[in-house]
């Protein structure tokens, strides 16, 4: 198992271990520092994994070069055998026929080696690309979930602040109205006392 797979498993286990927010069955409380540490390491590991698979993909050229070298050597050997056989006048016809068979057989084998090498290289490339794509898809899912949860938490906090602000504003309005009524009452009372006097 690669370090990226381990990190993804650790992030999933970390999310599973988080406690739910009070009065919620879907929102969790995440330790920001721990999550950031895991994401930073994951971000650092992804390029290394991609380089590793790029190296595997680049090996296909070495595989093809080796196959071509083997094919050229086989053809060269067949050609050398042909020249040796043709040089003998007494067996020229048989040598010619044998030489053609050897060359044709060498070409078939060389073609088979090249085709197998191409298949192996394509298989390695496809596997590396598929694996890297799966790892990046898992990373995208984790980041998307984290972003959505953060957005929901922020929106809830913002709504709570708005509600508190409205309550404060209403309370101040109520206080301001109460103070005005008291001033009116005291003004009337003072005016009545002066009139009695």
In this structure, are residues 19 and 29 in contact, taking their beta carbons and an 8 Å threshold?
Answer: yes
pLDDT per residue, tens digit, the chain (197 aa), is 677 778 788 888 878 888 888 887 878 787 888 888 888 887 777 777 777 766 777 777 778 888 888 888 889 888 888 777 766 666 677 777 888 888 888 888 888 888 888 888 888 888 777 877 777 777 778 777 777 877 888 888 889 889 898 989 899 888 887 665 555 555 555 555 555 54
The answer to whether position 183 is within a domain reads: no
Q: What is the pTM of this model?
A: 0.39
- Separation CA 130–CA 183 (nearest Å): 79
Domain containing residue 91:
3-166
Q: Positive or negative CA dihedral for 54, 60, 62, 65? A: negative
For 33-56, the DSSP string reads: HHHHHHHHHHHHHHHHHHHHHHHH
Q: How many other C-beta atoms can be found within 10 angstroms of the C-beta atom of residue 122?
A: 12
Say if 197 falls within a structural domain.
Answer: no
Residue 187, domain member (yes or no): no
Number of domains in the chain: 1
């Amino acid at each position: 198992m690669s370090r990226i797979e381990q990190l993804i498993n650790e992030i999933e286990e970390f999310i599973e271990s988080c406690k739910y927010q009070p009065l919620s069955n879907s929102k969790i409380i995440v330790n920001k520092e721990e999550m950031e540490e895991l994401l930073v390491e994951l971000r650092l590991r992804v390029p290394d994994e991609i380089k590793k698979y790029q190296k595997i993909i680049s090996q296909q050229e070495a595989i093809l070069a080796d196959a071509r070298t083997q094919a050229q050597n086989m053809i060269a050997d067949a050609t050398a055998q042909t020249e040796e056989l043709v040089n003998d006048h007494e067996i020229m016809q048989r040598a010619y026929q044998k030489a053609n068979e050897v060359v044709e057989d060498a070409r078939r084998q060389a073609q088979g080696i090249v085709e197998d090498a191409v298949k192996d290289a394509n298989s390695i490339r496809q596997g590396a690309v598929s694996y890297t794509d799966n790892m990046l898809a898992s990373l995208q899912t984790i980041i998307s979930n984290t972003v959505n949860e953060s957005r929901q938490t922020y929106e809830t906090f913002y709504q709570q602040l708005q509600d508190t602000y409205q309550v404060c504003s209403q309370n101040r309005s109520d206080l301001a109205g109460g103070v005005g009524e008291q001033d009116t009452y005291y003004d009337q009372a003072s005016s009545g006392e002066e009139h009695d006097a």
